[in-house]
Chains A and B, each alone.
Chain A
């Protein structure tokens, strides 16, 4: 993976790169998409947010249709994890940090975010 040719999605609370990262993957308000080829940001509203059931799996599907290679997440439930893996999207974890989307991106490029190799907890069945 050439980290200068990839698209990265970051779970966000707003459509602003200076806004805070979200503490939820499936039910965050926006995905901020950073394209390392063009160095540009785009913001996509998360339509999985209001799913009554299976929001995690749906969110994975949404980021896959955005052509993303990597997602930066607080944590991942087992269903979101399994779906992202199937879409061949790698997840890196910023955990419960409360900082800006741009900060998370810096940390990713500084190799400070660990890759998530296992889902974070037991499933909430919805």
Chain B
């Protein structure tokens, strides 16, 4: 079995992608999956080299042939999503592709056509194959796109006999995140010592539990507010989870990213620390376990 580690966070901008980048160099047998399809960023530091591009087709969308349309307005009335306006114009971003309009149209003026909602890329990186995807802004069903990235990264891991997949997730708790964590071996939740961070952490921890995913917590920029950091530690203890790493606020890490260099292999003291190395051996443990 491939060992899948998902990095998530309820709140955005807590440092998921940065953490993913920092741990990647420590794995020898790796496939990387960027499941943040709304904002895919791993490629910025890892690779511009695309080996393969696949279009991702979502649900079909209606196209109206106005020559045949008699303005009966049935499609508008029967659409539960408000995706067809009163003057019979299709609103792209809200259509969910159910085909009801096509069915109710008395003059067959509506046809359903394939609709590209994003693209999936396979790339070579110095650390192994990477699969990432980009949702076309404004499109629906990004959860499905996430599932597809998961599927392709699993296939790559199987083909190349790789042991671990590191998944960079998206913020939130809805379809994208559910698709990101369902069935993974382990989830790492990145949070920050703020009231919002704690609020969001609670929701995403509950979600992990609901999907029976073992989740450990990482507090990024922990030293910005020690009080809140301690609150997080206490909360995790009470809720069958655990804080396994505290990362300090460190301008060197931000600067390293700005220079497009992976922080953990860019001579930054923190990554020599015992705490960091213990954390790495903890997440690698499961690599040998399977």
Least CB separation from A125: chain B residue: B178
Least CB separation from B211: chain A residue: A122
Is A124 on the interface with B (CB-CB < 8 A)?
Answer: yes
Number of residues from B at the complex interface, CB < 8 A: 19
| A126/B59 in contact, CB under 8 A | no
| A52/B182 in contact, CB under 8 A | no
Q: A23: which B residues are within 8 A, CB to CB?
A: 158
Q: A50: which B residues are within 8 A, CB to CB?
A: 57
| A123/B58 in contact, CB under 8 A | no
Q: A122: which B residues are within 8 A, CB to CB?
A: 182-183, 211-212
Q: A23-B158, A121-B183 are in contact. Are A126 and B211 (CB under 8 A)?
A: no
Is A4 on the interface with B (CB-CB < 8 A)?
Answer: no
| A124/B212 in contact, CB under 8 A | no
Is A36 on the interface with B (CB-CB < 8 A)?
Answer: no
| A124/B183 in contact, CB under 8 A | yes
Proximity bits, A22-37, B CB within 8 Å = 1, else 0: 0100010000000000
Is A42 on the interface with B (CB-CB < 8 A)?
Answer: no
Residues B161-200 near A (CB distance < 8 A):
175, 178-179, 182-183
Partner of B182, one of A27, A53, A96, A123: A123
| B158/A124 in contact, CB under 8 A | no
| B183/A52 in contact, CB under 8 A | no
Is B144 on the interface with A (CB-CB < 8 A)?
Answer: yes
Residues A69-126 near B (CB distance < 8 A):
96, 121-126
Q: A23-B158, A52-B58, A52-B59 are in contact. Are A125 and B143 (CB under 8 A)?
A: yes
Q: B286: which A residues are within 8 A, CB to CB?
A: none
Output the least CB separation between A99 and chain B (Å).
15
Q: A53: which B residues are within 8 A, CB to CB?
A: 59, 141, 144
Partner of A126, one of B57, B144, B158, B183: B144
A126 vs B140: C-alpha distance when bound (angstroms): 13
Q: B179: which A residues are within 8 A, CB to CB?
A: 124-126
Residues B108-147 near A (CB distance < 8 A):
141, 143-144, 147
Output the least CB separation between B41 and chain A (Å).
24
| A125/B183 in contact, CB under 8 A | no
Partner of B144, one of A27, A52, A121, A123: A52
Proximity bits, A47-77, B CB within 8 Å = 1, else 0: 0001011000000000000000000000000
12 interchain pairs, CB-CB under 8 A: A52-B97, A53-B59, A53-B144, A96-B1, A121-B182, A122-B211, A122-B212, A124-B179, A124-B182, A125-B143, A125-B179, A126-B144
- Which B residues are within 8 Å of any A CB, using their own CB? 1, 57-59, 97, 141, 143-144, 147, 150-151, 158, 175, 178-179, 182-183, 211-212
